[in-house]
Structure 1
Amino acid sequence: MTVDWGRGGPDLLVAVDRDAGPLRTQIQDQLRAAIRDQRLGAGERLPSTRRLAELLEVARGTVVDVYEQLLAEGYLESTVGSGTRVAAIGSSGGSARRAPVVVSAPSSPRPVDFEYGIPDLRSVPLSDWSWAVSKATQTLPTAALGDEDLAGSRNLREVVTAYHRRVRAGWATAEDAIIVSGFRQGLAFALATLARQGIPRIALEDPGPRDHALIARRAGLEAVPVPVDDHGLDVGRLRRSGARAVLLTPAHQCPTGVVLGPSRRRDLIAWADEVDGVILEDDYDAEFRYDRQPVGSLQGLNPARVIALGSVSKTLAPTIRLGWVFAPPRFAAGIVEEKRLSSRGAPGLDQEALALLMETGRFDRHLRRVREIYRTRRDLLAAEVEHAFGPGRLRGLAAGCHALLHLPDGSSERGVAAAAETMGVRVNPLSHYRFVTEDGRAAPLGFPPALVLGFGNVDEQQLRRGIRILARAAERHAGPARERE
């Protein structure tokens, strides 16, 4: 007879064969083996003797004998009011033994990770998010628990477009908005829509965000690089690229940190009108500007030519996979159709929770708080870099949570990054963000050797230690100019 006791204890199959010897021995051997093999883990509660006897159709006294034997051997422990549980023993061996004593190794400094794009995860407003999810659960009508509007929660679309108009000088309404599960999903839907509408080629910033070329090619578009300089995307080179679409990060270019200049913004809008083109605006961290008001969204300049994409990955946390696309009417329906066929939508309760967070002012309050945290870190980063590397080495400090550290001439970006990693500091070289063709080639960048320093998720102590280590790594890899990898 084989029994899965299920109810009243952890799942375990126990087999008894009335023709195969004493039942007590069979049950005892199987339980002992299950504990040794860790199929029954320490602390797991076993069924009562009465319950197990009923399940196995044996006398209760047989199970009592089994439990008492295993208690004596140290495999089980019994406490009044807590029942019989599996004791903590070693993972193998023929007899019970105490769990080994773990001796802690001397603590070492936490690794420093200057990864770009990660906000301060210690500052995520989890209590506010928990409140918003709970409130949404309590107030959402039963009818809203079915499939949502294909474009997403109407409430959230109204809230995020109002926020974009208020904070980013945008010009979108709820009818222009599609809620998605993060920026990349929105980008994939938008690019697929462009391809279906006969736009075959898209220009991308070089250097620029990782993987955008791969995403564009998967959508059926040809991706071409357009260089970035100290004023942002080179619109003259864009005109010569033959593209009718461009994806860029104008408010705080990734990864160089430059802001698209006023004349370039005007030229870009004019280019879109000239070629009947479309601008895809990655508005990823514009809320974090420290010395003056953030530059407005391109979408506000020409809503008919701009698809604006945003998310809460930088403002809240990457794990809250919510984003939005603000699209002109000629593209919005196609993006909604891509969403319908692909995923139907982001979790509805989370959408309502985000709307509540923004409507009640909790989102703005969080941004004000972390903006001051990032400002303090930015100022400390600037001071530490100047002390360790000299003045004028750090660029892109006006906004966002990353900056560009220019290394001494002739330095090997990858050599410095590799040396730093051996000393507990992770950082990406600027060349990590260069445009890579389909055959895996990358043209040399028109920038001096540099490292991209994300400071959103490093505390002050880590920041100081990390910059000092980078300075030592740079000393090892300074020398004659060499071919950039």
Structure 2
Amino acid sequence: MPADQTTSADDLLLDLDAAGPGPLHARLERALRTAVESGRVPPGARLPASRTLADRLGISRWSVTEAYGQLVAEGFLEARSGSGTRAPLRPTSPRAARSGGPPAAAPPVSAPHAATPTAAPRQVGRSRLDLAAGVPDLRAIPRAAWSRAARDALATVPHDELAAPDVSGHPGLRTALASYLARSRAVRCTPDDLLVTHGSTDAMTTLVRVLRAAGHRALLVEDPSWPRLRDVAAAAGLTPVPVPVDAEGVDARALVTAAERTGARLALITPAHQFPVGTVLAPGRRDAVVRWAQDVDGLVIEDDYDAEFRYDRRPVGTLQGVAPDHVALLGSLSKTLSPAFALGWAVLPPALRASVAQARAAAPSTIDQLTLARFLHEGGYERHLRSTRRRYARRRDALLAALAARLPGCEVSGVAAGMHVVLALPPGATGADVARRASLRGATLTDARRYRMTPTTREALVVGYGNLADARLAEAVDVLGAAVDDAVQNSTRDLAENPAQHARPTARSVTRFGGIA
């Protein structure tokens, strides 16, 4: 059957009774997976409309839409506006990927002289097995809901508000954000305390320039940590000063010591979910950091990058809510929706509001701001977060089970939060070597050393699962396991052939925090 036709309900041969126990929609999910994997649904073929399939099976339409929606979120099916729900053009299941056929060849790149002025640039997509850290589920962006909010916002905005945007952000969005942050993150702010930004990097860029002009020279940063924000600070003339992280988050005593040694009165930390170690700042250390900032009249820059994603309990409240005069809170849509939205916020202490606002280069699009305001007001953002939490929690559990089965000697760490875990590597394997070997097999991984400021002998990987399709999870862990095995075997072979070059012990200490703390 041609792939552009619709697969009939009869052709699917769905047997819900044989799909195992569980709710009807879960059994239908499993039956549809089998139909796609077996080839009864050809690549690119359209599935029956939800109402049609429900009538044919004698079940509720809700069960069908739930099953379709879950499989689309997992990347097992594709949904396009006006085109229905389809099987993907490429196999998505581990079974299909391991069927023995060679991977599809990449499209040829034209020679430079063959390009024309009207030729579209070649787009580089993400890897098939995306285990990169910090990337959200790009398949689950609520496109339809966002489009409705954008359409409604543009249709109802008064003409006068379409002039040059307020440098601090549209008042409607700042009001909506203040309300949301108060109830979700225990933030203490008014709309006037908020600055709408293009994202956390944009907010950090402006903030550190203002702080540098005010006389600050050093910034205390967690080690390890996300390099982008500390690099922005360094570019502005602030010297990053590393402070170690352990099982309870950033070491508050070491922070105070480093501050006394360098004269630093600024600190950049991730208290809700430290990246990449994955710890939560302990209550006693939260108090100590706040007391330090108050005692030295300093500022804590709180990066709240993925605090909405906690799976075992409610997220801890912000430090900003405890000390609003000494904490600047940065947040964005980059982890909850996508970096492509280029929207974020900064909640600033009173002493910094005017100077930071005046230092802004440009505010985000007014239409984008009004869209987010409507999305928040109508509850679309929080509905998206609830469904995303459930999906990430299931995916994390499945990943941990798969890693325990495939790499039982490698400890996995990090609290049940965010979109990544830390995998400690066995003796003989380095993060850089495993990441390189996995890349050759189509998987993206990150060496934990990338986030370090000071040297370490501990080897680990930061394994992201945000943008990993559920249907590819088993295959991704198989590839990761094979890369680890190859790295260990190569190290053992090299040691046997060149013992004089390996006089030092090769065993590496592995901590319960992934060997990178």
Larger radius of gyration: 1
Cα offset, 1:389, TM superposition = 1.6
Q: Distance in 2 between matches of 1:388 and 1:261?
A: 32
Counterpart position of 2:384:
366
Q: Distance in 1 between matches of 2:230 and 2:102?
A: 45
165-174 or 208-217, which moves further after superposition? 208-217
- Letter matched to residue 244 of structure 1: R
- What is the DSSP-based 3-state SS (H/G/I as helix, E as strand, rest coil) of the residue aligned with 1:399? coil
Counterpart position of 2:325:
304
Q: Distance in 1 between matches of 2:367 and 2:132?
A: 31
Counterpart position of 1:455:
465
Cα offset, 1:391, TM superposition = 6.6
Q: 2:506 aligns with which of 476, 481, 485?
A: 481
Q: Does 1:320 align with 2:320?
A: no
Counterpart position of 1:288:
309
Counterpart position of 1:32:
none
- Letter matched to residue 449 of structure 1: E
Q: Does 1:260 align with 2:260?
A: no
2:165–2:365 Cα contact (<8 Å) kept? no
Q: Distance in 2 between matches of 1:108 and 1:295?
A: 46
Q: Distance in 2 between matches of 1:338 and 1:193?
A: 7
2:186–2:317 Cα contact (<8 Å) kept? yes
Q: 1:186 aligns with which of 203, 228, 233?
A: 203
- What is the DSSP-based 3-state SS (H/G/I as helix, E as strand, rest coil) of the residue aligned with 1:444? coil
Q: Does 1:198 align with 2:215?
A: yes
Cα offset, 1:212, TM superposition = 2.4
Aligned-pair identity in percent equals 38
Q: Distance in 2 between matches of 1:229 and 1:457?
A: 27
- Letter matched to residue 281 of structure 1: E
Counterpart position of 1:415:
433
Q: 2:177 aligns with which of 115, 136, 160?
A: 160
- Letter matched to residue 304 of structure 2: D
Pairing 1:31-50 to 2, within 5 Å after superposition: none
- Normalised by the length of structure 1, the TM-score is 0.73
Counterpart position of 1:222:
239
Q: Distance in 1 between matches of 2:214 and 2:284?
A: 30
Q: Distance in 2 between matches of 1:155 and 1:203?
A: 35
Q: Distance in 1 between matches of 2:317 and 2:398?
A: 27
Q: Distance in 2 between matches of 1:270 and 1:209?
A: 25
1:176–1:327 Cα contact (<8 Å) kept? yes
Q: 2:420 aligns with which of 402, 412, 415?
A: 402
Q: Distance in 2 between matches of 1:212 and 1:321?
A: 16
Q: Distance in 2 between matches of 1:205 and 1:368?
A: 30
Cα displacement string for residues 139-170 of structure 1 (whole angstroms, at most 9, x for unaligned residues): 11110011122211111111111111100011
Q: Does 1:131 align with 2:152?
A: no
How many residue pairs are counted as aligned between the two chains? 370
- Letter matched to residue 218 of structure 2: R
Q: Distance in 1 between matches of 2:225 and 2:447?
A: 13
Q: Distance in 1 between matches of 2:228 and 2:335?
A: 18
1:385–1:393 Cα contact (<8 Å) kept? no
Pairing 1:369-388 to 2, within 5 Å after superposition: 369-388=387-406
Superposed CA RMSD: 2.0
Q: Distance in 1 between matches of 2:320 and 2:408?
A: 39
Gaps of 5+ in 1: 1-104, 436-442
- What is the DSSP-based 3-state SS (H/G/I as helix, E as strand, rest coil) of the residue aligned with 2:181? helix
Cα offset, 1:106, TM superposition = 5.6
- What is the DSSP-based 3-state SS (H/G/I as helix, E as strand, rest coil) of the residue aligned with 2:346? strand
Pairing 1:463-474 to 2, within 5 Å after superposition: 463-474=473-484
Gaps of 5+ in 2: 1-100, 106-126, 493-504, 509-514
Cα displacement string for residues 464-484 of structure 1 (whole angstroms, at most 9, x for unaligned residues): 111121112112223562899
- What is the DSSP-based 3-state SS (H/G/I as helix, E as strand, rest coil) of the residue aligned with 2:164? coil
- Letter matched to residue 402 of structure 2: E
- Normalised by the length of structure 2, the TM-score is 0.69
Q: Distance in 2 between matches of 1:221 and 1:425?
A: 36
- What is the DSSP-based 3-state SS (H/G/I as helix, E as strand, rest coil) of the residue aligned with 2:177? helix
- Letter matched to residue 228 of structure 1: V
- Letter matched to residue 400 of structure 1: G
Q: Distance in 2 between matches of 1:111 and 1:236?
A: 43
Cα offset, 1:111, TM superposition = 2.4
Counterpart position of 1:338:
359
Counterpart position of 1:4:
none
Cα offset, 1:127, TM superposition = 0.5
Cα offset, 1:108, TM superposition = 4.7
- Letter matched to residue 404 of structure 1: V
Counterpart position of 2:293:
272
Q: Does 1:425 align with 2:443?
A: yes
